[in-house]
Chain A
Amino acid sequence: MTALAPTAAPSVAPSFVTHTRLLTARALRGMMRIPVFVVMQLVQPMIWLLLFGALFRSVVDIPGFGSGFGGSYLEFITPGVVMMTAMFGAAWAGTSFVQDMDRGVMDRFLASPTSRGALVASTMVYQSVVAVVQGVVVVLVAVACGARFPGGAVGMLVVALAVVLLTALFSALSNAFALLTGQQEALIGISQLITLPLTFLSSAVMDTSLSPGWVQTVARYNPFDWAVVAGREALSATPDWGLVWSRLGWLALAAVVMWWLATRAFRALQRSA
């Protein structure tokens, strides 16, 4: 079989950027046309925050919890809930691919010079925009409930960056699954079998220094935890910037690799078509 480079044309770079922009705009347009969906997207993270905040409020009283953290539990879980919202949303990113494949829109794009990389990237950008807005809502609700974040504006920007990278990683994963299976059901698998365990094998809602050793080990390699740690550190009074940037760096690398893999999945689709 001849080695084929589906994105080998010299004009790829400009069309990648333009196509990503056009396709992201299409996705945002589609979302805004379903107001109920927009409202649900905004209400759901608030529920997470208030639910977890109330449920586990007294865990900060456990001796040793958040050594060096010193804030309230609401302050502890705010970055956790921001990242949870981002990852849960991104896990469903492949839905739009599945819909496009069902409708024949995907075939139309694929029979045209539409950049494959841009098809994947546009859902990454779209989901990131949604997740950042959701993150802002979560932080505002937390502040309204009395939480304070000494990290300030710089800390918030770092949180936003972590949200974007985490969303990008899981959107690309979800897209790859969508392309390989063509089935919405496969996305339920990602959502239930991958993202949920990753949430609880992290420091999102619980300080892992109080968890069993193996959980701490898993958390160290858990991309979701990288985002939570980077965000929480950046919002603290004295961030460990080395830790923040190493976690963000790994997250960025993982997102780029996953984007590449998802883009490759178009070839598998072509072989099975």
Chain B
Amino acid sequence: MSPSTPRGTSITGVRADDLRKTYPGRRGAPTVTALDGLSFAVPDGTVFGLLGPNGAGKSTTVKILTTLSRADSGTATVAGLDVAREPDAVRRAVGYVAQKPVTDPMDTGRENLVLAGRLQGLGRRDARARADELLERFGLTAAADRLVKTYSGGMARKLDVALGIVHRPQVLFLDEPTTGLDPEARAEMWAEIERMTGDERMTVLLTTHYLEEADRLAARVAIVDRGSVVVEGAPSELKDGLHGDTVVVELATAVPAAPSADGAPAPRARLTQVVGEAGLRDVVVDGTQVRGRAESGSAALPGVLAALDGAGIPVASATVARPSLDDVYLRYTGRTYGSADRAGAAARETEEVAA
């Protein structure tokens, strides 16, 4: 997939061209390909979402774009600056909010902000004024002079974001800004990011493994899978590209994939065949969940339920919905988003995303 904006027509906020990066395997393990020809372009002044499950290559991309890492090959520019050739200039142009907390727990919120501002080149007075402004804006004024180690997760995350924009960067990188936050803190953070991108005209590159987050915040998204972009576009465009509705049927029990001992066809293959004959396309079974697509979901559903009933497969519930990014993901990668995310990081806390 090549970037959609032709080279040189306008200043592009961020551009990545065919980035490749491998990590050497530890102790004889094979090399790990993190990026496999990843390309995308972010128009200046917009919010762009890099969406993908854990391990898709999003963080590696952000590290290369913020000069923390180097690509094996390929080029990238940020605010028109080449990240490999002009790293110093890039560092002045970007703000970076890493996936993990970036605050110093042994400093106060204010000290963290003032130090960040000073290191970015603000004078003492400017750094203090900017710190006050950001503390106010993120609702941290009352906690400004407390050590950050006493902050709640949501407060510390807000401070992380404040640290990233202390110098009013041209391009802001938010690497999974809401991972690990409870739903309330996440909603607050979303509102804050929306306000921020509205107030200060900056290009924002957001990585997330929450589909709804990309849907809500990003003007355009690129879905990243196994180190490359599989599809790029506005969320509405991508969803409209999938005609019809999504039908999701929850079965009462999971259906085994393996054939039974007596030589009968595998129950899962039979299930797929049954719902297929009832009019569902692109059927995928993941545990107890059966997803498929139909031109009109409400017209297809009765037939599907009747077919399942006829085949003796008990159903717990069924829903019909307009296509979501989850369906877009499924369409382009052949896997449900939830299963890819679980596979990407079994150790990491994951949340099933409501589609």
Q: Which residues of A contact B (CB under 8 A)?
A: 2, 4, 6, 8-9, 15, 18-19, 22, 26, 29-30, 33-34, 100, 103-105, 107-114, 270-271, 273
Contact = CB atoms under 8 A, between A and B. Distances in A.
Size band of the interface chain B makes with A: 20 to 34
Interface string B55-93: 000000001001111100000000000001101100110
A110 B104 contact: no
A113 B119 contact: yes
Q: Main SS of chain A's interface residues?
A: helix
Contacts of A19: 119
A114 B121 CA distance: 9
Contacts of B105: 103
Nearest to A22: B118
A107 B96 contact: yes
B70 A271 contact: yes
A2 to B, nearest CB: 6
B215 interface: no
Contacts of A26: 104, 107, 111, 115
B12 interface: no
B120 A104 contact: no
Nearest to B149: A33
Contacts of B115: 22, 26
Interface of B: 63, 66-70, 84-85, 87-88, 91-92, 94, 96, 98-107, 111, 115-116, 118-121, 147, 163, 167
A43 B48 CA distance: 55
Going nearest first, the 3 A-B pairs with the smallest beta carbon separation are: A111-B96, A273-B69, A104-B102
Contacts, number: 84
Given A8-B88, A113-B120, A104 B70 contact: no
B85 A103 contact: no
Given A4-B87, A22-B119, 11 more contacts: A18-B118, A22-B115, A29-B106, A34-B106, A104-B102, A111-B67, A111-B91, A112-B116, A113-B119, A270-B67, A273-B69
20 contacts: A8-B88, A29-B106, A29-B107, A29-B111, A30-B104, A30-B106, A33-B147, A34-B106, A103-B103, A103-B105, A104-B99, A105-B102, A105-B103, A105-B104, A107-B63, A108-B98, A108-B102, A270-B69, A271-B70, A273-B68
Contacts of B100: 103-104
Contacts of A112: 91, 96, 116, 119-120, 167
Contacts of B94: 111
Nearest to B66: A111
